[in-house]
Structure 1
Amino acid sequence: MSRLGVPAALPPVRVHDLTVSYHGHPAVHHLSGEFAAGALTAIVGPNGAGKSSLLSVLAGTRADFQGRLQRPPAQQVAYLPQTASIDRTVPVTVHEVVAMGLWARLGCFRALDEAGWVSVTHALAAVGLSGFEQRLIGEMSAGQAQRVLFARVLVQDAALILLDEPFNAVDARTTADLLAVLQRWRREARTVIAVLHDLDQVRDHFDQVLLLAREAVAWGPTAQVLNAEHLFKARQMAESWDDDAPVCGGRP
C-alpha cells in the first residue's frame, strides 16, 4: 500500500475499440489502449479531437459509447471537468466547498468528523490556502478558486484522478503550485489523466501522452509521442474531419 492507502500496484485503465459520438457524429473513433497505472498521462490534440468526450467516459459520467472501458468497478474516481465552476453568489466558505469532496465517504447528512476536518486542513495547505478556510468563495480570485477545486479533489483520496484542462485561466504561480500537486500524486502511485493544451507543460511534467485526433495518433512515453511527425499528422487529420460523417459501424 502507498503512504495514503492507495494500492501500490493498481491495474491500468484500458479502453477497447471505444467509439463516442455526439448527435450521431464521431468524437472518438475506435480507440484501444491503456493508461499506465501510477503515472501522469496527458491527453493532447487539436480542438474537437474528442479529448473531453474520452475523459467523461473514463469518469463514468456518460454511458452512450460503443466498445469497452476496463477499470476496477470499486475504484474511486476524482473528476474535475472543464466546466467545473463555483457559484460565487452562494455564501459558502472555502472550507465548506472543499468538504464537499468527502460526501462519498460521509453522505449528505452526516456531520464532518475529526478525520474530515484534518483532511480538509491538509488539502488546503497542499494548495497554498492555509488560513483561507472561512473566506467566502465569492471573495476568491480565479486562481484561488481553482486551488479550492484541487483541494476538493485531494480530499477525495482517489486512486484515479481525471482533470480536464485544469490550468485554464489561472496565473503562472498557481499553475506551478498545482503541477506540484500532480507530482505528489505521482509519488503516491495514483493514476492521473489530464487533458492539456500546453505541450511544454506536458514535456516537463508528464510520463505518458495520448495524442488524439478522434483516433489515436500516438500513445506512449512523452518523448516518443510529442515529435514533429506525430504532431503534423494530428494537424492533417484535423483538417480532413467531416463533421457530417456518420458513426462507423465496424472496424476502420
Structure 2
Amino acid sequence: MNAPLIKLDNVTITYERHPAVHHLSGVFGAGSLTAVAGPNGAGKSTLLKAIIGELKTATGSIDRGPYQRADFGYLPQSAEINRRFPISVADTVMMGAWKKSGAFGAFSSDDIRQARQALAAVGLAGFERRHIGSLSAGQFQRVLFARLLLQDARVILLDEPFTAIDQRTTRDLLDIVLGWHRDGRTVIAVLHDFEQVRSHFPQTLLIARELIAWGPTEDVMSGQNLVRARAMAESWDEEANACVPHTHQDKSEAAE
C-alpha cells in the first residue's frame, strides 16, 4: 500500500451528540483510489466532511499530512447545491481558480483559458454563458468536475459523484477519476454502486457507522462483510445515548 497520507485515529463524529461515525481508525495512502461504501446513514458523507475540516471530531484526530484545506478538492452531493443561484457555467468553473487568485482576486487570461479547457474536457465546450439552473443533472455534474479539474487539487473527495446521472455521463466522469488516479492524486469517493466499486476502485472502506473492513476491494467487499454491514444498520438505535470516549480498558474489548 502507498505511504499514509490521511490518518484517522479513533475518530468519532457526532450530530447532536449522537455518533454518525464511531471510533474509526485507518489510513488513506498517498495516490490511492478508495471507495467509501456502506448502508444509507452509515456516516460516509459525514466522514468526507470531517476529512476536509468542515466537521469537527468528537473524539480522536485526523492527520492530513502535509496538506491544507486548499489542497483538497471536494464535490458535495448534488442535493446540497442550490442551482437556483444566478450564476453562469463559466463563473461556477472559475471558482476552482480561487486557490491561486484568492476569493476577490482577478482571474488571469491563463485561468480563463484553463477553465475553457476544463469544460471541453468534460464535454461542455460552448456552455460558458449558460445558467446552471438550465442544465440537466448530468450536465451540471460535468460542470462540477470541470471546476475540480481547474482547481488541480492533490486530494479529491467525491460524495456520490455518479448518482442520478445518465450512463454516458457516468462513464465520462469515471474516466476523469481514473485519470486523476493515474496522475498520482489521492481520490476518495462515496459510492452506492457495488459493481463500480469492484470494477474500478482498488481500495475500499466499508463502514456502518463503525468500521467493517478497510483494504483491497476484493477482500473488503466479501459477502460476509456486506451481511455484517447490513445487520449493523438494522440494529441502529437512533435514540441511543451520546457516544463517550473509550477508556483504555474498553478499547481492547472493542478491538475485534
Is the TM-score greater than 0.5? yes
**Stretches of structure 1 lacking an aligned partner (at least 5 in a row):** 1-8
- Does structure 2 conserve the Cα–Cα contact (< 8 Å) formed by 1:21 and 1:65? yes
Question: In structure 2, which of residues 42, 49, 61 is the aligned counterpart of residue 56 of structure 1?
Answer: 49
Give me the whole-angstrom Cα distance separating, in 1, the residues matched to 2:4 and 2:22.
24
Q: Deviations over 1:19-66 (max 9, x none)?
A: 111111111111000112212101000111111111110111112431
Question: In structure 1, which of residues 120, 124, 127 is the aligned counterpart of residue 122 of structure 2?
Answer: 127
Q: After superposing the two structures, state which structure 1 stretch, 55-64 or 192-201, moved more.
A: 55-64
Report the residue type matching 2:156 in the other structure.
I
- Does structure 2 conserve the Cα–Cα contact (< 8 Å) formed by 1:11 and 1:71? no
Question: In structure 1, which of residues 15, 23, 27 is the aligned counterpart of residue 16 of structure 2?
Answer: 23
Give me the whole-angstrom Cα distance separating, in 2, the residues matched to 1:65 and 1:125.
43
Give me the whole-angstrom Cα distance separating, in 2, the residues matched to 1:78 and 1:20.
21
Report the residue type matching 2:48 in the other structure.
L
Aligned to 1:142: 137
Number of equivalent positions: 243
Asked if 1:97 corresponds to 2:92, the answer is yes
By how many angstroms is 1:142 displaced? 1.3
**Stretches of structure 2 lacking an aligned partner (at least 5 in a row):** none
- Does structure 2 conserve the Cα–Cα contact (< 8 Å) formed by 1:26 and 1:245? no
Write the mapping of 1:116-195 to structure 2, written as runs, cut at 5 A: 116-195=111-190
Any runs of at least 4 consecutive aligned residues in structure 1 with deviations exceeding 4 A, and if so which? Answer: none
Give me the whole-angstrom Cα distance separating, in 2, the residues matched to 1:88 and 1:24.
33
Question: In structure 1, which of residues 208, 231, 249 is the aligned counterpart of residue 245 of structure 2?
Answer: 249
Give me the whole-angstrom Cα distance separating, in 2, the residues matched to 1:44 and 1:187.
22
By how many angstroms is 1:10 displaced? 7.1
Report the residue type matching 1:146 in the other structure.
Q
Asked if 1:87 corresponds to 2:83, the answer is yes
Indicate how the Cα distance of structure 1 residues 110 and 249 shifts in structure 2: closer, same or farther if over 3 A, else same.
closer
Give me the whole-angstrom Cα distance separating, in 2, the residues matched to 1:183 and 1:89.
31
Give me the whole-angstrom Cα distance separating, in 1, the residues matched to 2:187 and 2:85.
32
Report the residue type matching 2:67 in the other structure.
A
- Does structure 1 conserve the Cα–Cα contact (< 8 Å) formed by 2:12 and 2:57? no
Indicate how the Cα distance of structure 1 residues 52 and 89 shifts in structure 2: closer, same or farther if over 3 A, else same.
closer
Q: Deviations over 1:194-234 (max 9, x none)?
A: 11100001111111000001111110011111110110111
Give me the whole-angstrom Cα distance separating, in 1, the residues matched to 2:152 and 2:58.
28
By how many angstroms is 1:137 displaced? 2.0
Aligned to 1:6: none
Q: Specify the SS of the correspondent of 1:211.
A: strand
Q: Deviations over 1:83-135 (max 9, x none)?
A: 44242351x32111100111122013322102211221221122111122222
Give me the whole-angstrom Cα distance separating, in 2, the residues matched to 1:10 and 1:107.
31
Query: Normalized against structure 1, the TM-score is what?
Result: 0.91
Aligned to 2:200: 205
Q: After superposing the two structures, state which structure 1 stretch, 116-125 or 71-80, moved more.
A: 71-80
Aligned-residue identity in percent: 52
Give me the whole-angstrom Cα distance separating, in 1, the residues matched to 2:104 and 2:206.
43
By how many angstroms is 1:15 displaced? 0.2
RMSD of aligned residue pairs (Cα, Å):
1.6
- Does structure 1 conserve the Cα–Cα contact (< 8 Å) formed by 2:88 and 2:129? yes
Q: Specify the SS of the correspondent of 1:12.
A: strand
Q: After superposing the two structures, state which structure 1 stretch, 47-56 or 241-250, moved more.
A: 241-250
Write the mapping of 1:35-74 to structure 2, written as runs, cut at 5 A: 35-74=28-67
Report the residue type matching 1:154 in the other structure.
L
